[in-house]
Structure 1
Amino acid sequence: MAIKESKTDVLIIGAGPSGYMAATWLSRCGIPFRFIDKRSTEVFSGQADGLQCRSLEIFKSFSESCFDFATLDQSWKVANHMIEMCFWSPDEKGELVRNSRVADTIPNISRYTQSVIHQGNVEKWFEDSIQHFSEGKAKVERPILPVSIKIRDDVDLEDPQSHAVEVLVTKLDSESAKPEQYGQIANGLFRQFDGDQDKFYKDISDGNNEDDYEIIHAKYVLGSDGAHSWVRKQLGIDMEGEQTDFVWGVLDMVPITNFPDIRSRCAIHSKDSGSMMVIPRENDLVRLYIQLKEVERDPGTANEERPFSATDKHVKTKGRIDRSKITPESILKQAQNILKPFSFEMTDLSWYTGYQIGQRVSPKFSKQNRIFISGDACHTHSPKAGQGMNVSMQDTYNLGFKLALVCKGLAKQDILSTYESERLKVARDLIAFDHKFSRLFSGKPMIPNSDMLDGVDLDEFHSVYVEGNKFASGTIVDYEDSLLVSKENALSADADGCTMNKLASKVPIGRRLYSDRIISHADGRPIHMADRIPSDGRFRVLIFCGDVDKNKENLEQLHQFQDFMDSPKSYSKKFTPVNAFADSVIETITIHGSLRDKVEFFDFPEFTHPLDFKRRCDYWKLYAGVGSTYHEGQVDIYETYGIDKQKGAILVVRPDSHVAQVSEFSVDGLKQVDNYFNKFMIPQTENVLPEKAVTVDDTKRFVKPRLAV
């Protein structure tokens, strides 16, 4: 009997947050994919817990108001919102005191603040979203282990639709598929030290039946399989970086203490007992990151070969950390020493772990634009800055829509190369930040007015934290000029190095579009811009036509756009399949700068309120960017974006809400938009979809995939 073979567009290996984010994108865009994981069950406790502003924005972008099911915005509703950061350190007498309080999240950087909820919740919400978006067709297949992977040499790699990657997988037996564990209390020790997972890739049983194997032929493969990534190792990519001697313990528990700031986030440096971070969580839980004293090494592992790990300069002399010496009791004792003179006990322990601080990054994130790696497979670092889960998800938030566009035949395969160029820079910036932050956190503090001059300057630590908070939020990620980001017309840069165009002087090109409110012209309802451009795979062209009441020529100019929009050679027609919804690849939204009561809805040209195949009017393409709302105060998005109400501007926004281009409000500006899409989009004039029947019941069109349908 021959081994089973199958085909799919994308194969995702590894069901962590990074893999789930990719699967959410693909299901939202209607792309066939497979999603496998070697574990038999989901994660229900422990692991990552921090959600940064940008991640919460992304979750909301998959959670539209028209959906009748709970999606990822549950995270904001359920998580503990962290408001304040407190810094504790020794005073001149060496006694622990609070020396400052700051906002945990930089005010006004986002409409969300940093929050905490355990990873199991996040993964469950991802699963629910994927199930609904795919109408139950997609889910994680467990427990399945990849055995071999290769890019075929008998297919045309230049053909983006060729099934160029071949992956052999096998079902795991029930014993091998059990969640890895160490000891009797729920913990994450199995994942933290090199070599602990290697057994999964050494001893595939020779006795397996052919029925247990399958060859999956995929167009593209994504390895989101963690820090010990099997996919990365098969590609022969070594992580670059180092491991330190700093060992930290983690406890999730309910504290019993007289420490006054236990429900605020805290960074604590003790005089002689190390450092600790306090993370208040949901349901009375608190997470402690606690610096441990030197943890013993396992002498039996000294000088052992480590074929599945990056180079660790300490291994050959010291061996691996002895996990048996890391216990909840040992971690608690260290916490008690750090917090003296405050008392500290715990109850309801739910999880613990230990890890070594290290910073490593992969020099490559892909191979031949066919196999990609993401998340911990690309970068590992300390967890105290709350970046692991967040940057991992943002990796595949960057990649997911690109895979969807290519698999749908809408964009050239070349756009996939921008994944590595955009995300590798983010990973390197993360490693640099974490390297500095973790060492300042782990070092012995300088005592004020003492003779000790070689300790950590806590003023420096404080400033590094505050400055790093901008980076940690994920909101200032800045993608460089590429096929998908056009900075060529930008004329200025601000103090932070952002690339601007004077037509929209507060909109950094390459960064995510900051969200502020606009007002629906049809019904007066205020809505956040981000909620009007959700994650469904489509590009947006935002036309800011200025104050058309005070500048009548602006309305005339807008009417002149109609001929351009109607031309079969324009971006609005050329890149959309025949018989698809006109806005299903590139959506044009108009935001005027007049008061709603000064202009009428039908004063505007047809493309701002188009009719579909049933002659239904789309009322949600025309907005007022200024004015007074009935319940939410004043709105002026022109001021927010630095757009002149006479000159106007046109913004191109990518499916991941990053600003791709800014051009002038004119026909020439529209032609610049056209030139942007011409670089990488594929004309769809030969792609004819079935004609839509006027009698069809398509009431589910707001929830089903919208990309090129």
Structure 2
Amino acid sequence: MPSLKTIKESRTDVLIIGAGPSGLMCAVWLARCGIPFRIIDKRAGKIYAGQADGLQSRSFEIFQSFSEDQFDFVTLDKAWKASNDMMEMSFWSPNEKGVLGRKSRIPDFIPGISRFHECVIHQGKIENWLQNSIEEFSEGKVKVERPYMPVSIKIDETMKGDQDYAVEVLVKKVSDDLANPEQYGKIANGLFRQFDGDQDKFYADHVNDGNVEDFELIKAKYVLGSDGAHSWVRKQLDIEMQGESTDFIWGVVDIVPITDFPDIRSRCAIHSKDSGSMMIIPRENDICRLYIQLKEVAREEDGSEGAGADGGAKSKGRIDRSKITPESIVRQAKEIIQPFNLDATDVSWFTGYQIGQRVATGFHRNNRVFISGDACHTHSPKAGQGMNVSMQDAYNLGYKFALVCKGLAKQEILQTYELERKKVAHDLIEFDHKFSRLFSGKPMIPSAEKLEGSNEDGGVDLDEFHQVYVQGGKFASGTISDYQDSIMVNKTGAKAREGEESEGVFHPLANKVPVGRRLLSDFVLGQIDYKLLHLVDKMPSDGRFRVLIFPGDLQQFKSNWDILNKFNDALEEKDSFIKRYTPVNAFPSSVIEILTIHASTRNDIEFHDFPQFTRSIDFKGRTDYWRIFSGAGKAYDGTAVDIYKTYGIDKQAGAILIARPDTHVAQVVEFSVGGLKQVDEYFSKFMIDQRNNVLPEKDKSVNDAIRFVQPKLAV
């Protein structure tokens, strides 16, 4: 390896190692918020068919939040249009005679939990859309740098400042030949990335070769390792994975099926009598993905290293991957699906894996280097959680990086990442542990459930399996991730409803809004234009906090106007939280945006009746028209609107909600001057005073229409 003295050096705020869905999601946040960053990956760039394919409700909500109407490029919301909807789940199991039959059909989504439901689409398309968005948001300044591999990482623990470049990462550019994963045969497969030890061998073989110009020393304020289940970053930090592997071996194959099976275009869970289990996932166009339990898979002679045994997970031996072929997987599928016929054509991808559930003991070192996605947690893929939870990890962390790197918030907020996402990871493992074992077990035959004198295990109770699937639907959707009390979440006054602890905690002033969870969206009407829209669509992912003021029915309860006008006096003070945490000369709503949602009929109130703070004016005298809404009434197309009912807010008492940049509800307080002071107290815990941060004065003569698509945070 060349001497560090001869290697070129560079600096960046955040370095992301790994350009899978998790790393790219963090990069989208940083690009949208205008943060200097780099993202590297050791893959040459080709995204093979297959890999993850399920997108849950929360992931679509996140994609929508990065897809504002003003953008003139194709953004992440295209995922919704291009994917295959998952509308129905069918359960198949042996009847009393042991013959496979349909047991039940249910919706494959929970009505009302989100405006989106689960879909499936090729992971490569998701990664492409994420990369396109990064390039657009950064105005072409940032692209994934390939193929680069990290060589060493060092944290300077003497550097305590939020803005110190405390992490050094030595990286090396590798050849495209080395960066292309090895394939077996003509059909693309995922076997190259399923086994522990392969990445370690790659690094060991190639870390020291190359010329000095191939190396670079990158100094960063913060680093994110999103480099997969066998994460190099995690290993450098000596963070262990705790958990175990099972003996269940599964194969996955993408095919175009030729079959008389009646539910081939529905998601299916199939338990055969003696041939194992299978899940059918209908994908885009005419493709189907089959997850198939393999009865016998040869093991390599040296059983000392288990498949996926990283971090002490227990396993009885490493799978001989050469024995897993598309033919062997389809052959097993034919046995499982009998008495129906199944043939396969147009095989496009396959892989094999051993089910295991593991969680990292920590998600960061020194609040400087973090890990996300598969680097933090591994599990079976059948519940459609891998890509989703991985992206949601980074969605939690990305805006926190942005707030700290911009000097808007204290470094302590980064600690909430592990607090919030580690619990989600453990909940995921608990769900997957139960679900995968019930899926993989031999089914109980109805007529043989309790044979007198029988000593045999009755097998998996398929009614229990059905219930676990249904109960897990909310968790799997990603919409009920519940973040604990911290400097960024204040659940004071919120309580669980009797017998409904799992449903979250609710403040009596908004008794249908779980504090700590993402805000469910519903319709409102624009006060200025009567446009029907979703409230959360006016809370896009751009790094800003939102204070949602619900002043009630202002037409019926005139005293509520007095409170709203008092808010104007308080917020115009030089030490108000709006002015204290917004840089001088920045747009008034560029750090904390206030949205007002009243409960009066829109035509009963005029736009200019509202106090100035609800419709701020910028340096050119332009009015922000899109921050006042009617939350009750009827749109011209007849759509009924009552967001007060949706959120459980009284139309006389009102309420104030604080929403974080990720739309998780941080606190609920009363609609009063005292409540507004509680909002101030919330921000004072972690935000940094900006009154000495003076930005250049804006030029009134400049045409700045592009501001709608450029970064909006503290500008």
TM-score (norm 1): 0.98
Shift in CA distance, 89/411, structure 1 to aligned 2, threshold 3 Å: same
Counterpart in the other structure of 2:279: 277
Shift in CA distance, 307/192, structure 1 to aligned 2, threshold 3 Å: closer
**Partners of 2:259 and 2:470 in 1: CA distance:** 28
**Partners of 2:51 and 2:27 in 1: CA distance:** 20
Q: Please give the secondary structure, in 1, of the residue aligned with 2:554.
A: coil
Alignment of 1:51-70 (within 5 A): 51-70=55-74
Please tell me the residue identity of whatever aligns with 1:548: L
Q: Please give the secondary structure, in 2, of the residue aligned with 1:241.
A: strand
Q: Please give the secondary structure, in 1, of the residue aligned with 2:392.
A: helix
Counterpart in the other structure of 2:49: 45
Counterpart in the other structure of 2:693: 687
**Partners of 1:497 and 1:84 in 2: CA distance:** 24
1:613 pairs, out of 603, 609, 619, with: 619
For the pair 1:156 / 2:154, whether they are aligned, the reply is: no
Counterpart in the other structure of 1:113: 117
For the pair 1:228 / 2:230, whether they are aligned, the reply is: yes
- Deviation by residue 1:31-52 (Cα, 9 ceiling, x = unmatched): 0001000010131411000000
Counterpart in the other structure of 1:26: 30
Counterpart in the other structure of 1:359: 357
For the pair 1:458 / 2:488, whether they are aligned, the reply is: no
**Partners of 1:365 and 1:207 in 2: CA distance:** 31
For the pair 1:652 / 2:652, whether they are aligned, the reply is: no
Q: Please give the secondary structure, in 2, of the residue aligned with 1:364.
A: coil
Please tell me the residue identity of whatever aligns with 1:681: M
2:649 pairs, out of 638, 643, 646, with: 643
**Partners of 2:457 and 2:218 in 1: CA distance:** 60
1:671 pairs, out of 677, 688, 695, with: 677
- Deviation by residue 1:237-287 (Cα, 9 ceiling, x = unmatched): 110000111000001111000000000000000000000000000011110
Shift in CA distance, 269/308, structure 1 to aligned 2, threshold 3 Å: closer
Counterpart in the other structure of 1:265: 267
Counterpart in the other structure of 1:310: 311
Please tell me the residue identity of whatever aligns with 1:187: N
| Structure 1 residue 626: Cα displacement | 0.4
For the pair 1:89 / 2:89, whether they are aligned, the reply is: no
Counterpart in the other structure of 2:82: 78
Counterpart contact for 1:269–1:445, Cα < 8 Å: yes
Shift in CA distance, 271/522, structure 1 to aligned 2, threshold 3 Å: same
Please tell me the residue identity of whatever aligns with 2:408: L
2:516 pairs, out of 502, 510, 513, with: 510
2:420 pairs, out of 412, 419, 422, with: 422
| Structure 1 residue 179: Cα displacement | 2.7
Please tell me the residue identity of whatever aligns with 1:445: P
For the pair 1:631 / 2:637, whether they are aligned, the reply is: yes
| Structure 1 residue 199: Cα displacement | 1.9
Q: Tell me which moved more, 180-189 or 478-487.
A: 180-189
Counterpart in the other structure of 2:136: 132
Please tell me the residue identity of whatever aligns with 2:417: Y
| Structure 1 residue 307: Cα displacement | 12
2:394 pairs, out of 379, 393, 396, with: 396
Please tell me the residue identity of whatever aligns with 2:372: S
For the pair 1:563 / 2:569, whether they are aligned, the reply is: yes
**Partners of 1:77 and 1:567 in 2: CA distance:** 47
Counterpart contact for 2:307–2:315, Cα < 8 Å: no
Counterpart contact for 1:546–1:644, Cα < 8 Å: yes
Counterpart contact for 1:190–1:197, Cα < 8 Å: no
Q: Please give the secondary structure, in 2, of the residue aligned with 1:446.
A: coil
Counterpart in the other structure of 2:543: 537
Counterpart contact for 1:233–1:308, Cα < 8 Å: no
Counterpart contact for 1:63–1:71, Cα < 8 Å: yes
1:594 pairs, out of 600, 615, 618, with: 600
Counterpart in the other structure of 1:141: 145
Q: Please give the secondary structure, in 1, of the residue aligned with 2:563.
A: helix
Shift in CA distance, 337/632, structure 1 to aligned 2, threshold 3 Å: farther
Counterpart contact for 1:470–1:476, Cα < 8 Å: yes
Counterpart in the other structure of 1:330: 328
Shift in CA distance, 173/186, structure 1 to aligned 2, threshold 3 Å: same
Shift in CA distance, 529/305, structure 1 to aligned 2, threshold 3 Å: closer
Q: Please give the secondary structure, in 1, of the residue aligned with 2:105.
A: strand
Counterpart contact for 1:290–1:331, Cα < 8 Å: yes
**Partners of 1:215 and 1:380 in 2: CA distance:** 31
Q: Please give the secondary structure, in 2, of the residue aligned with 1:203.
A: helix
Counterpart contact for 1:18–1:394, Cα < 8 Å: yes
Q: Tell me which moved more, 447-456 or 266-275.
A: 447-456
For the pair 1:622 / 2:624, whether they are aligned, the reply is: no
Q: Please give the secondary structure, in 2, of the residue aligned with 1:232.
A: helix
Counterpart contact for 2:334–2:341, Cα < 8 Å: yes
| Structure 1 residue 489: Cα displacement | 2.7
Please tell me the residue identity of whatever aligns with 2:565: H
Counterpart in the other structure of 1:176: 178
| Structure 1 residue 569: Cα displacement | 1.1
Counterpart contact for 1:228–1:308, Cα < 8 Å: no
| Structure 1 residue 298: Cα displacement | 1.0
1:254 pairs, out of 253, 256, 261, with: 256
| Structure 1 residue 390: Cα displacement | 0.2
Counterpart contact for 2:195–2:307, Cα < 8 Å: no
- Deviation by residue 1:172-231 (Cα, 9 ceiling, x = unmatched): 023211133233310001111222222222123544211110000000000000001000
| Structure 1 residue 635: Cα displacement | 0.3
Q: Please give the secondary structure, in 2, of the residue aligned with 1:146.
A: strand
**Partners of 1:118 and 1:382 in 2: CA distance:** 18
- Deviation by residue 1:139-160 (Cα, 9 ceiling, x = unmatched): 100000000001024x422x11
| Structure 1 residue 362: Cα displacement | 0.3
Q: Please give the secondary structure, in 2, of the residue aligned with 1:505.
A: strand
**Partners of 1:306 and 1:508 in 2: CA distance:** 40
**Partners of 1:512 and 1:356 in 2: CA distance:** 33
Please tell me the residue identity of whatever aligns with 2:232: W
Counterpart contact for 2:223–2:368, Cα < 8 Å: yes
Please tell me the residue identity of whatever aligns with 1:334: Q
Counterpart contact for 2:581–2:688, Cα < 8 Å: yes
Q: Tell me which moved more, 184-193 or 268-277.
A: 184-193
Shift in CA distance, 632/381, structure 1 to aligned 2, threshold 3 Å: farther
Structure 1 unaligned residues grouped into runs of 5+ = none
| Structure 1 residue 632: Cα displacement | 5.2
- Deviation by residue 1:13-37 (Cα, 9 ceiling, x = unmatched): 0010000000000000000001000
Identity of paired residues, percent?
A: 65
For the pair 1:411 / 2:437, whether they are aligned, the reply is: no
Q: How many residues align?
A: 703
Counterpart contact for 1:46–1:252, Cα < 8 Å: yes
| Structure 1 residue 365: Cα displacement | 0.3
Counterpart contact for 1:575–1:683, Cα < 8 Å: yes
Counterpart contact for 1:41–1:179, Cα < 8 Å: no
| Structure 1 residue 306: Cα displacement | 9.8
Counterpart contact for 2:15–2:224, Cα < 8 Å: yes
| Structure 1 residue 305: Cα displacement | 9.8
Alignment of 1:566-581 (within 5 A): 566-581=572-587
**Partners of 2:613 and 2:495 in 1: CA distance:** 30
Alignment of 1:283-302 (within 5 A): 283-299=285-301, 301-302=302-303
Counterpart in the other structure of 1:99: 103
For the pair 1:478 / 2:476, whether they are aligned, the reply is: no
**Partners of 1:598 and 1:186 in 2: CA distance:** 63
**Partners of 1:183 and 1:378 in 2: CA distance:** 32
| Structure 1 residue 454: Cα displacement | 2.4
Q: Please give the secondary structure, in 2, of the residue aligned with 1:584.
A: coil
Alignment of 1:377-392 (within 5 A): 377-392=375-390
| Structure 1 residue 303: Cα displacement | 3.0
Counterpart contact for 2:245–2:309, Cα < 8 Å: no
